[in-house]
Amino acid sequence: MADGEPGTAPQLRASDAERERTATLLRDHAGAGRLTPEELDERLDAAYAARTVGELETLTRDLPDAPRPPAPRARALDRPGVRERVVHAVGLVVLVNVACNVVWLATGADGSWWPKWVLLGTGLRLAFQLWGLLGPGAAHDEARLGRGGVRPRDGR
């Protein structure tokens, strides 16, 4: 039963929402090339004139079911513990760089700005850490290492 609720009797009266749902489905199928413009017009007229759920069902009986939308992908930060590890990694980089700049300023800020090298090193480390936590293979690696997600099959 494409339009009514599962188990709805075909003799029950159709609601405006059911008529509109059928019309939308017909338009989608016409957009996919399953119905000609003339067929669409005929079926839309019949859909808006339908009195029962059964009449609406006959309009879509020869059409395939609507495809289900793809399941939403899990976001990397939604995995257990990842958000905390990202915040910890970023916080450590900020803390180390602020401390180095404070030392540079406290010693007179003479010469070149040497904390740039600390910033470069910690920034590269952070980039690699974030790639490991959020990159495309991160969930697989965590499962393989037993740190979350799906556990390895051998029970380790």
Bin 151: left if φ > 0, else alpha if -120 < ψ < 50, else beta.
beta
Of 2-11, 75-84, 126-135, the poorest mean pLDDT is in 2-11
Amino acid at 59: L
Span 92-109, pLDDT tens digits? 999 999 999 999 999 988
pLDDT of residue 76: 72
Contact 154, 144 (CB under 8 A): no
Span 13-58, pLDDT tens digits? 999 999 999 999 999 999 889 999 999 999 999 999 999 999 999 9
pLDDT of residue 135: 84
Span 119-156, pLDDT tens digits? 999 999 999 999 988 888 776 655 565 655 444 445 44
pLDDT of residue 82: 87
Of 3-7, 88-92, 139-143, the poorest mean pLDDT is in 3-7
pLDDT of residue 134: 86
Amino acid at 40: L
pLDDT of residue 136: 81
DSSP 71-111: PPPPPGGGSTTHHHHHHHHHHHHHHHHHHHHHHHHHTT--S
pLDDT of residue 45: 95
Q: Can you give the residue ranges of every domain in the chain? A: 1-69, 76-145
